[in-house]
Amino acid sequence: MPDLYDATLNGFPLQIETISDDFAKAIVRYEFPYKDGAQLEDMGQKARTIRFKCWFWDSADNLTYDLHAAFINTLTQQTLFEFVHPTYGPIKGCVDSVSVMQDDLQRTAQVEIAFVENLRGTTQVMQDYPAQDVLAACQEFFATAILQTIAAFGAEAMSFLGAEASTVVSTVLNPALPILSQFTGLSLAAYGFVKAVSAGIATLNGILPNVVNPNNSTLAAIQFSPNLPGMAVQAAAQCCERYTIWRSSLANNPTNWSATILNDFSSLPTATLQSGTSAGAPSASPAAQVSAITLPKLLWFQAAAAAALALASIYDADQANWVAAQQNSLENAFDMLGNYVYPDQPAAQLMDQIDLQQTLSDVRTIIESAIDFMRANDVAPSCVAGDIEGAGSSFDSLKGMALALQTQVESEILERDTLLQVIINNPLPLPLICLMYGLPYNTAEQLWAVNKLSNPNAVSGQIYVYQPGTGT
């Protein structure tokens, strides 16, 4: 057995036979025509790689062969390890590769490891911001919100009507017939409850009648049970979807869209609150409670979910536009002969940091208003989803959508380059402005989209440019 060095990896004692350290520098070479040599720029040291070979064996004075399997298993952890180098001391990093050669007959194992040092001065592995599909995430939460709203509706009916609620919420209805005519033998309180819900459904179905609910949307893929809770939730969800479709023409100006949707949904429950009130109904009766609490709560819930889903779609499209713009910026706009080869098609508009943050704020305000209203008017156990898929607090889906949108905005702001606000006193072409601020001329395509300019050949006034050196 050759002479061995003592070392440890993640606290595990090792007997090392050979060890090699790779200290490589990142040197950038700038070469110029008719100039000998190159101008060099030292960008620092590359990731330091340490390769070593360690032994595990059984002998009269050493019994470590059986430990090599446990040692290898510890290396599967996705975390930083501390390697105590026999010469240079402790080093933080990750295991890049492991190669094992073992001889069970001789009960020896030889393990070769490549260890890469982590960024110096940090204590954790550098990771990208967690990627997500914001639209898919919000679609999943949206479907769960429908189930939870239906369950909460049934729970409130039980709170109002007691045992008779089972008949009210489980009766199978024909959507083509009047709802009230399909219930018989109800008490006066239950009859008032059904009448108030029926009036609310009629009101919701009559809002924005000229806007058609699409048959290929997330909502259209959800099957609603043909009963009173299913029809009430469907009417509210379709009403809110019609609002988002009605305002979809404003999506090219995202902050205007979010402000308008916020105003629409803030005033919508008030009309529903008044529409279902039965003349002469006592304020404490089930009919009055439906009009004052149940239907507005249901509508707030669906308004928040619809607004979040619509904004997720806007963010998803904007991210795709940004990726396309990044790809275009890597291509030359002119060939070797100076001919313009870029397509004469304006780039899709991109959202800047202000657009992202303002739209997020507006939609999260809708979500917060919905949660506040439901908490203030909670009728136990209305916040219990029941024994259904996604059971739990009926707020969970709204909170999940809010978090998904926030994660998307934070991810995009981190991913995209920093924008600076500048003032151009005289009309200038956008490519020239890029060169003035140390940016490649083909960045003009992205700045055109970010600033939503009408004439890129004569730009003046206050605009945004990317900060030089941020990666553009």
44-59 pLDDT, tens digit per residue, is 788 889 999 998 888 8
Q: How far apart are CA 378 and CA 293, in angstroms?
A: 8
**What pLDDT, on the 0 to 100 scale, is given for residue 388?**
36
Among positive and negative, which fits the CA dihedral 169, 174, 176, 181? negative
CA angle (253, 319, 440) in 5-degree steps: 90
Q: Nearest CA to 358 among 405, 320, 397?
A: 405
Q: Are 228 and 194 in contact (CB under 8 A)?
A: yes
User: If 0-12 CB within 10 Å is exposed, 13-18 middle and 19+ buried, where does residue 332 land?
Assistant: exposed
- DSSP tag of 294: I
Q: Please, what is the angle between helix 295-329 and helix 188-205, to 10°?
A: 30
CA distance 181 to 155: 23
How do residues 207-217 score in pLDDT, each as one tens digit? 998 999 999 99
Q: Which long-range contacts (CB under 8 A, 24 or more apart) does 15-20 make?
A: 15/54, 15/55, 15/56, 15/64, 16/52, 16/53, 16/54, 16/86, 17/52, 17/53, 17/54, 17/55, 18/52, 18/53, 19/50, 19/51, 19/52, 19/53, 19/85, 19/86, 20/50, 20/51, 20/52
DSSP 324-366: HHHHHHTS-SB-TT--B-S-S-PPPP---HHHHHHHHHHHHHH
Burial of 380 (0-12, 13-18, 19+ CB in 10 A): exposed
The reported pLDDT for the residue numbered 276 is 42
For residues 67 and 109, give the distance between their C-alpha atoms in angstroms, rounded to a whole number.
10
CA distances from 461 to 152, 267, 458 (A): 54, 37, 10
CA angle, corner 318, sides to 444 and 438, nearest 5?
25
Top-tier CATH class for 5-117:
mainly beta
Query: Is the per-residue pLDDT at 443 higher than 50?
Result: yes
% of the chain exceeding 70 in pLDDT: 82
- Centroid of chain to Cα 465: 26
Confidence check: pLDDT of 321 > 90: no
Model confidence band, residue 311 (pLDDT cutoffs 50, 70, 90): very high
Quote the pLDDT of residue 335: 61
**Radius of gyration of the chain from its Cα atoms, rounded to whole angstroms:** 32
Residue 127's nearest CA partner among 73, 77, 79 is 79
Mean pLDDT of 257-263: 93
Contact 287, 199 (CB under 8 A): no
Per-residue pLDDT, averaged over 371-396, amounts to 58
pLDDT score recorded for residue 278: 43
Give the span between the Cα atoms of 32 and 291, in whole angstroms: 78
Instruction: List the domain boundaries for the chain.
Output: 5-117, 134-415, 419-466
pTM for the model: 0.64
Contact (Cβ atoms closer than 8 angstroms) between residue 153 and residue 161: no
Give CA–CA dist 419/423, Å, rounded: 13
Report the C-alpha gap between 85 and 91 in whole angstroms: 7
Any idea how long the chain is?
Answer: 472
pLDDT of residue 471: 43
3-state secondary structure of 440: coil
pLDDT, averaged across the chain: 81
Report d(CA 25, CA 48) in Å as an integer.
9
Nearest CA-CA partner of 90 in 47, 46, 50: 50
